[in-house]
Amino acid sequence: MAGNSRMNSWSLFRIMVLPCMFLCAIFKKPIFQWIALIALLAWVVIEVGQHIALRHKKRTRSRKTERKEARAEEPTACDEPVDHSLLLQVNYRITEQLKAMYPSVSWLWLKRPETNSLKAGGTWRIALQNAEPFNYGEVCLKSSGALYITLLQIVPLSDAVRISEPVKDDNDLHESEILERFDVKKWYSTDGEKALCEIVEELNTQGYKKLSITEDGEVVIETKDGQHPFETIQNFPPKSVWSDLCVLVREDDIQASVDGAQLAIAW
């Protein structure tokens, strides 16, 4: 390409400038000198224009190459992180195994595993609810994909004597207790979740990050002058099922804990 450009420039010089210079040398007249000068200037202008065009073409080609390389480096849809998806799959498998033995069970990771560790396999501990007499479990995930759960009952040494006492089976529970346990889930799915989320969203826009709920369903917020009533949640569950309610609330990424005679909510 460069050789052809130089050849074309030389050909153009021979066609335009050399004849004019010969004429100027043979005929000693000012008109031929002007013609030679104009031809030389025209040749210089054409040369400069070709040089500028060549540089522009190289610059455009370089930009196209950079764009192609950038597109090649962009991650495709298949390269998107699968952290959340993989964790959800493991969660579903754990829940499926636990519910086969304890239909009302709920659980939480004590320390949520990372994706890399899930792929490599390992053992993690979970906290259990409604799986009496067990309150903890160990989840063993093999690199092959096999998943095993070991149930644990962890109690203080001072309370170890109680282990020898017969444990009440779910079938031995009074009918009112069973209904009460299922009522909190029904209440939260039908009324409680919507009411609580609306209150949290409204208080969040007003700069608050926590609230408390009394046994009669009154929502109070902490101010510099003390607790201030905000709203009342109708048909609020009794304190005996607040532990189950805390588990349901945490599933919506809202922190919940029993604080004396009140249910503490934070976000």
Residues 89 and 162 grouped into a single domain: yes
Question: Between 253 and 16, whose confidence is greater?
Answer: 253
Residues 179 and 155 grouped into a single domain: no
pLDDT tens digit string along 143-172? 888 899 999 998 887 776 555 555 555 555
Residue 69: is its pLDDT beyond 80? Answer: no
pLDDT tens digit string along 178-218? 444 547 888 888 888 888 888 888 888 888 889 999 988 99
Cβ pair 141, 110 in contact under 8 A: no
User: What does the alpha-carbon distance between residue 219 and residue 53 come to, in Å, rounded to a whole number?
Assistant: 75
Residues 194 and 168 grouped into a single domain: no
Place of tokens 């007499």: 133
Q: What is the 3-state secondary structure (H, E, C) of 217-233?
A: CEEEEEECCEEEEEEEC
Q: How many CA atoms lie within 13 A of 201 on its CB side?
A: 7
Residues 180 and 136 grouped into a single domain: no
Q: What pLDDT does residue 66 have? A: 78
pTM for this prediction: 0.35
Instruction: Quote the number of domains for the chain.
Output: 3
Q: What pLDDT does residue 68 have? A: 73
Residues 61 and 98 grouped into a single domain: no
Nearest to 196 by CA among 141, 248, 146: 248
Task: Using pLDDT thresholds of 50, 70 and 90, give the confidence band for residue 234.
Answer: confident
- The domain boundary, picked from 141, 172, 203, lies at 172
- The domain boundary, picked from 45, 74, 103, lies at 74
- The domain boundary, picked from 172, 189, 218, lies at 172
Judged on CB neighbours under 10 Å (0-12, 13-18, 19+), 101 is exposed
**Between the CA of residue 146 and those of 127, 141, 149, what are the distances in Å?**
21, 6, 10
Residues 200 and 216 grouped into a single domain: yes
pLDDT tens digit string along 71-86? 666 554 444 444 678 8
Q: What pLDDT does residue 78 have? A: 42
Write out the residue range of the structural domain in which residue 135 sits: 83-172
Residues 93 and 129 grouped into a single domain: yes
Residues 204 and 148 grouped into a single domain: no
Residues 193 and 226 grouped into a single domain: yes
Residues 167 and 213 grouped into a single domain: no
Residues 51 and 87 grouped into a single domain: no
